Structure 1
Amino acid sequence: MTHRRTLRWIAPLFALIALVSLAHAPAPARAASDRPIMAFYYPWWEPSDWTYDKMSDLPAPKYSGGDDETLKRHIQQADAAGIDALICTWFGPEEDRLDKRCRRIMDLAQQMGSDIQFAIIPDQSAWAGLKSVDGLARAIGVLQRDFFTKPNYLTFQGKPVVFWFYPPSLGGLDTWKQLRNQADPNHQQYWFGGTDDFSYLDVYDALYYFDITWEKSPGAAMTSYAGRLDRYNKANGQSRPFVATVMPGYNDLKFRGGHARDRQGGDYYRGTWQTAIDRNAQAVVLTSFNEFFEGSHIEPSEQYGDLYLRLTKELSDNFRTQVGNPTPVPQPTPSGCQTFPETGYQVCGRILEYWKQNGGLPVFGYPIGPQQGVTIEGKPFQAQEFERNRLELHPENARPYDVLLGRLGADVLAKQGRDWQQFAKVSGASSGCRYFPETGHSLCEPFLSYWQSHGLTLDNKSGYTADESLALFGLPLSEPQQEVLSDGKTYTVQWFERARFESHPENAPPYNVLLGLLGVEMKK
């Protein structure tokens, strides 16, 4: 008992010293969208929660999860320890407490200039508003509108990430298929599902294990899972990523009479990381940053001081230096090319095919640079810039998603120092218009007709569905507004994620609406 009381005042001092030293330690370059290290984060804590009656350990210091200084400390600790992203537990937009805290920690991280990114895990098992397909679909709509658009929201393979916990709490596979078809029919998000049932890969993009401590050996569960995944990928012609789970230990005996896995002075934690390295994991899930009821925390505590923050720094660095390098970017072949004398550049292969199939010159403009290797969100790709957009090759995706468009509308606004989220929003659409609740903007004539008559060819049928138009232009980021463009003239324009619509009433249809030269503006 004397030893425990001593630790209660010494541990916070050690934690502070460690935080300062970690913050100044050099770290390998991090690319959160390449092989991200993601830690489960719980913002629900209140001062009354902290008791040894329910926990095997307590944080040092104790805190409220809604306190700004606490959130800042957690951001600094996670960032210094080499964590790329915190996965914030969220009970949906109707539960005000966690909704505000997840939003707040993201805003604070951005204000602090932190590299930490964030993802959301809607806990459909814990909140009534998320226990139906319709409720979850509405919640995902809020994520699309308010979270995915934040610059520090985590993406994986170019898509915003959503984590899911314990699928049976919503229903079976068919229920989840219904949710995906309703909330994300074109799979524009990346869903990580917490299950070992491989049939759920019909819905989720990747699987992960939340808890691996039922196995005494730290590598047993992940080695078994990796082998099953290899067999699944080979049998189904897939390349689903191996997501490794790392844990320092576990102890929920006081909370729910469950089980405990001894930390072995850090050796158990080291063993889980070694499996991630040995199996060349494409992503790492850390359970957890601060789950004290289950005793899986790495946050500084009364029992362990800052030991597990320091270990996380060491082991995350090892992971980054020892796991295989990214696959070299394939170089374009000279066959199947078209030269554009207007700019002197060639367009070749799949990019040329895509350019021709999806609108050509009016939609994309002329090429203004060669196809070349670029780094986008930390990953290497082949891409080519055009007057109105950037086309990116993503060979890891099946057609037609093997070519993706840059978000040049949002990028140009950011380059101009304009925050589109500050643009005036509307609560609905007038008659004859279309409303987009995801961003709070409407689409009316003459821009609506242009939007409806253009899109990406996704189903090989004539005409364009709303999803195909959305895939080409993205969501509206503004209402129509007057702006002075590069020619010094004032036009009515409307901004979209991937385009700027410009009204030219002096031209006869269909040239009364033109797309802005965003690719050119990005190069200036």
Structure 2
Amino acid sequence: MRLAAGWIGGLALLAGLGVGTGGVAARPAPVVDGPKLVLAFFYCWYGPTSFDQGQMSDRPAPPYISDHDDVIDRQIRQAQQAGIDAFIYSWMGQGDVTANNFPKVLAAAQARDFKLTLYFEVDAALRRGDMAQQLRDLITKYSDHPAFLRWNGKPVLFFWRPEAYGDPAAWRRLRQQIDPDSALLWSVDTVNANYLDAFDTIHFFSAGKWRADTDVGAVHKQWRAVTDRYNRDHGTQRRWVAGIIPGWDESRVRPARPNAKVFPRQDGRMYETAWQAAIDSNPELVTITSWNEWFEGTQIEPSATYGNLYLDLTRTWVARYKGQTLPPLPAPQLSPNQCEVMNGYRVCGKFLEYWKQHGGLGQLGYPISDERVEPSLTDGGKRYTVQYFERAVLELHPENAPPYDVLLTQLGAYRYQCKYPGGAPNQRDGAGQPLAFGETGHSVSGKFREYWEQHGGLAQQGYPISGEFEEVSDLDPGKSYTVQYFERAVFEYHPENAGTPYEVLLAQLGAYHRDGTLCPAAAAAGVPAAGCRLAQRALLRLGDPGL
């Protein structure tokens, strides 16, 4: 996890860049251009409780433990399918968990013909021993490994926070001790061009130097020019490595960081803008910040909120960068007996497939029951196999062909009729362009429309069955939120999360249903949940008063 000292905003970071003029290290022999490669910064430090600390803006789907073999293999496979050539593995010094896990990841990479290199985190490594000795040990132990990344035949090393060790002159001396013949390619994260005196490339870990409104196209082009000018002035072959981010959100990290960075993802638009800017700067290599830095919210790994969106975007943009055409990935087909354990419950077969393909943790939440058979809320008491999740109940309908063989129970409609039999008070139309539905006489607009359209629309959320209105939260007593009811969900607007994936949240209808509180009036009167379900069954038809 980066402990950034601050930002240098916008194009101001380009002002006053000096190009080193003295004491240049021995010039490497001229080389021809190597292949275009895409590399992603990778972190192997997550343990059993890492994703349960409330310090992340999103979570992986499902959560994992970094050193598990199946997790490592899955991550490498997904990266390869997205067109990524190698991971830049965060290494925080001898004896650290990242050092202990590196051989395991390297072996897994070799098994899949994938590549790995090291991100030498200078400040952390300095706390664990002598810099020169640690570097010598790493180079001796790993640089000849078949899975260690090479470019133009040279092993590649990346360095973060070079100033923690010293100025460019100090690095020239260090490199002269360790790599006097420039047998390796050294890349450094900096906005000080003088470090090109000691390093072969400059890369940007990206958002540590930028703001959300930075013109990344101008920055990339300027640094392409800085690198080219350095080479002309010194007769060198320094390389430009363009950096890409999907977004950034470190607002939940504790202890709180001063001026915590929050760069909204804009549903992939920030990522695509960064990719285009990188390609326009004609980089030799491209780095992605990051595969899985979840604390800072820069990950492209599949997440609860975005599913596989960023892997799909990566495939598309890698192909453009490399001038390739990648075949489409086949849709995942799960065995009927395939299961995963989450939150202490097994999710299997069709339910697991649906959960993975329809938003996972962010859309449906964790499972909160095993599979069971119970009467339908809306189908004349017919019994179905169901499974409860925090925000939904899934019903298995083997009589239907896919994709209708798994359906969501209409918990939103059920709760609305129980709670507001005469219709909710003080309803209003939302701001923004409305999408109207004559079937129910209601529309959806603004942030709710954006969420509805991006998260399954009619098939997953159902029709809107109310306007927007204020409702006191069941989970946060005394606090009121703007809500809108849909057949299968209740949307809540959270202005405190503006600009994040959590600006619109779903009520935990599955949990309410399991606990017998989905129908508040019935619960208060002591009516069993099953009795309330049967009593309300007839009200769940489109066109009824109040719907």
Return the TM-score normalized by structure 2: 0.50
- Amino acid corresponding to residue 106 of structure 2 in structure 1: M
- Amino acid corresponding to residue 110 of structure 2 in structure 1: Q
Quote the Cα distance in structure 2 between the aligned partners of 1:116 and 1:279: 26
- Amino acid corresponding to residue 100 of structure 1 in structure 2: N
Per-residue CA deviations over 1:61-114 (Å, capped at 9, x if unaligned) read: 11111111110111111111100010111123333x212311101101223xx2
Residue of structure 1 aligned with 2:169, choices 168, 171, 174: 174
Task: Tell me if structure 2 keeps the 8 A contact 1:250–1:294.
Answer: yes
RMSD after superposition: 2.0
Task: Tell me if structure 2 keeps the 8 A contact 1:84–1:117.
Answer: yes
Quote the Cα distance in structure 2 between the aligned partners of 1:152 and 1:264: 35
Residue of structure 1 aligned with 2:307, choices 276, 280, 305: 305
In structure 2, the residue matched to 1:117 is 115
Quote the Cα distance in structure 2 between the aligned partners of 1:187 and 1:286: 25
In structure 2, the residue matched to 1:295 is 297
Task: State yes or no: 1:199 paired with 2:194.
Answer: yes
Query: What pairs up with 1:186-265 in 2 under 5 angstroms?
Result: 186-212=181-207, 213-216=210-213, 217-255=215-253, 256-257=257-258, 258-265=260-267
Query: SS where residue 62 of structure 1 aligns?
Result: coil
Per-residue CA deviations over 1:158-205 (Å, capped at 9, x if unaligned) read: 211110001111122222122111111111111001111111111101
Quote the Cα distance in structure 2 between the aligned partners of 1:206 and 1:110: 26
Structure 2 unpaired stretches of 5+: 1-32, 326-547
In structure 2, the residue matched to 1:91 is 92
Task: Tell me if structure 2 keeps the 8 A contact 1:38–1:286.
Answer: yes
Task: State yes or no: 1:160 paired with 2:155.
Answer: yes
Instruction: Give how far 1:33 is off.
Output: 5.2
Quote the Cα distance in structure 2 between the aligned partners of 1:226 and 1:76: 32
Instruction: Give how far 1:237 is off.
Output: 3.3
Quote the Cα distance in structure 2 between the aligned partners of 1:277 and 1:137: 35
Query: What pairs up with 1:283-362 in 2 under 5 angstroms?
Result: 283-321=285-323
Per-residue CA deviations over 1:504-524 (Å, capped at 9, x if unaligned) read: xxxxxxxxxxxxxxxxxxxxx
- Amino acid corresponding to residue 211 of structure 2 in structure 1: W
Structure 1 unpaired stretches of 5+: 1-31, 324-524
Query: SS where residue 92 of structure 1 aligns?
Result: coil
Instruction: Give how far 1:128 is off.
Output: 4.1
In structure 1, the residue matched to 2:500 is none
Instruction: Give how far 1:52 is off.
Output: 6.2
Per-residue CA deviations over 1:348-371 (Å, capped at 9, x if unaligned) read: xxxxxxxxxxxxxxxxxxxxxxxx
Per-residue CA deviations over 1:321-374 (Å, capped at 9, x if unaligned) read: 089xxxxxxxxxxxxxxxxxxxxxxxxxxxxxxxxxxxxxxxxxxxxxxxxxxx
CA 1:264–1:288: 2 relative to 1, 3 Å: same
Quote the Cα distance in structure 2 between the aligned partners of 1:176 and 1:146: 22
In structure 2, the residue matched to 1:101 is 101
In structure 2, the residue matched to 1:151 is 146
Quote the Cα distance in structure 2 between the aligned partners of 1:263 and 1:237: 40
Task: Tell me if structure 2 keeps the 8 A contact 1:110–1:152.
Answer: yes
Query: SS where residue 253 of structure 1 aligns?
Result: coil
Task: Tell me if structure 2 keeps the 8 A contact 1:159–1:189.
Answer: yes
- Amino acid corresponding to residue 294 of structure 1 in structure 2: E
Instruction: Give how far 1:293 is off.
Output: 1.0
Quote the Cα distance in structure 2 between the aligned partners of 1:155 and 1:110: 13
Task: Tell me if structure 1 keeps the 8 A contact 2:125–2:131.
Answer: no
- Amino acid corresponding to residue 140 of structure 1 in structure 2: L
Task: Tell me if structure 1 keeps the 8 A contact 2:292–2:300.
Answer: yes
Quote the Cα distance in structure 2 between the aligned partners of 1:322 and 1:278: 17
Quote the Cα distance in structure 1 between the aligned partners of 2:74 and 2:324: 29
In structure 2, the residue matched to 1:55 is 56
Task: Tell me if structure 2 keeps the 8 A contact 1:33–1:154.
Answer: no
Query: SS where residue 46 of structure 1 aligns?
Result: coil
Deviates more, 1:65-74 or 1:270-279: 270-279
- Amino acid corresponding to residue 297 of structure 2 in structure 1: G
CA 1:239–1:188: 2 relative to 1, 3 Å: closer
Per-residue CA deviations over 1:224-249 (Å, capped at 9, x if unaligned) read: 32232233333333342221111111
Task: Tell me if structure 2 keeps the 8 A contact 1:218–1:269.
Answer: no
Quote the Cα distance in structure 1 between the aligned partners of 2:126 and 2:233: 39
* Structure whose CA Rg is larger: 2
- Amino acid corresponding to residue 309 of structure 1 in structure 2: L
Query: SS where residue 106 of structure 1 aligns?
Result: helix
- Amino acid corresponding to residue 105 of structure 2 in structure 1: I
- Amino acid corresponding to residue 107 of structure 2 in structure 1: D
- Amino acid corresponding to residue 56 of structure 1 in structure 2: S
Deviates more, 1:135-144 or 1:72-81: 135-144
Query: SS where residue 302 of structure 2 aligns?
Result: coil
Quote the Cα distance in structure 1 between the aligned partners of 2:262 and 2:212: 11
Quote the Cα distance in structure 2 between the aligned partners of 1:225 and 1:110: 34
CA 1:176–1:261: 2 relative to 1, 3 Å: same
Instruction: Give how far 1:130 is off.
Output: 5.0
Residue of structure 1 aligned with 2:274, choices 266, 269, 272: 272
CA 1:225–1:52: 2 relative to 1, 3 Å: farther
Quote the Cα distance in structure 1 between the aligned partners of 2:119 and 2:192: 19
Deviates more, 1:226-235 or 1:64-73: 226-235
CA 1:198–1:156: 2 relative to 1, 3 Å: same
Quote the Cα distance in structure 2 between the aligned partners of 1:160 and 1:136: 19
Instruction: Give how far 1:295 is off.
Output: 0.7
Quote the Cα distance in structure 2 between the aligned partners of 1:322 and 1:233: 29
- Amino acid corresponding to residue 235 of structure 2 in structure 1: G
Quote the Cα distance in structure 1 between the aligned partners of 2:69 and 2:235: 47
Q: Percent identity?
A: 34
Quote the Cα distance in structure 2 between the aligned partners of 1:224 and 1:281: 12
Instruction: Give how far 1:215 is off.
Output: 5.0
Quote the Cα distance in structure 2 between the aligned partners of 1:82 and 1:162: 21
Quote the Cα distance in structure 1 between the aligned partners of 2:320 and 2:165: 38
Instruction: Give how far 1:287 is off.
Output: 0.6
Return the TM-score normalized by structure 1: 0.52
Query: SS where residue 222 of structure 1 aligns?
Result: helix
CA 1:218–1:269: 2 relative to 1, 3 Å: farther
Quote the Cα distance in structure 2 between the aligned partners of 1:235 and 1:215: 33
Instruction: Give how far 1:143 is off.
Output: 1.8
